[in-house]
């Protein structure tokens, strides 16, 4: 009887998970859109679209997620710093970079990011003061 019960539970699980396949995306699946990685992707996507309000909300959710890994949190802080810098909030930009560096002291921007005229100098300042 136990074997039959396991088969039924397995079949139910397969049906539940296959529902996402018919949607062609897992964005609407309850188990997928709760991950820190998904929230980070949404935050970056919103940032790239210029929707800073949605981006800040998603990135903040990454930072509050208990299961978010260190790399996801560093990326979230980086994009929050970018948003603060382009919004004229240099102090908050600096603080976001500092928090990213606290999580990963070896954190660096890409050459293109580091050369940005707005946040490049703020990052270099945070990096220099962090090393002291």
25-130 has CATH 3.40.50.300 classification: no
| Ranges of each domain in the chain | 25-130
Alpha-carbon distance of 101 to 106, in angstroms, equals 7
- What does the pLDDT look like over 15-36, one tens digit per residue? 555 555 444 455 455 555 568 8
DSSP state of 25: S
Short-list 20, 22, 50, CA closest to 33: 20
- What does the pLDDT look like over 53-93, one tens digit per residue? 999 999 999 999 888 899 999 999 999 999 999 999 999 99
- pTM for this predicted structure: 0.75
In this predicted structure, what is the pLDDT of residue 8?
A: 65
In this predicted structure, what is the pLDDT of residue 16?
A: 54
Q: Token pair for residue 114?
A: 């580091």
Segment 89-118 shows an average pLDDT of 96
DSSP state of 65: -
In this predicted structure, what is the pLDDT of residue 67?
A: 82
In this predicted structure, what is the pLDDT of residue 10?
A: 58
Share of the chain above pLDDT 90, in %: 65
In this predicted structure, what is the pLDDT of residue 118?
A: 95
Alpha-carbon distance of 37 to 41, in angstroms, equals 6
Under the banding of pLDDT at 50, 70 and 90, the label for residue 11 is low
Length of the chain, in residues: 132
């Amino acid at each position: 009887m136990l074997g039959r019960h396991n088969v039924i539970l397995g079949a139910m699980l397969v049906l539940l998970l296959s529902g996402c396949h018919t949607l062609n995306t897992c964005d609407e699946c309850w188990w997928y859109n709760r991950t820190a990685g998904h929230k980070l992707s949404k935050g970056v996507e919103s940032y790239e679209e210029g929707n800073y309000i949605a981006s800040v909300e998603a990135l903040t959710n990454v930072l509050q997620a208990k299961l978010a890994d260190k790399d996801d949190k560093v990326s979230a802080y980086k994009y929050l710093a970018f948003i603060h810098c382009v919004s004229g909030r240099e102090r908050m930009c600096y603080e976001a970079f500092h928090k990213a560096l606290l999580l990963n002291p070896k954190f660096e921007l890409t050459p293109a990011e580091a050369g940005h005229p707005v946040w490049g100098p703020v990052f270099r300042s945070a990096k220099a003061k962090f090393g002291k």
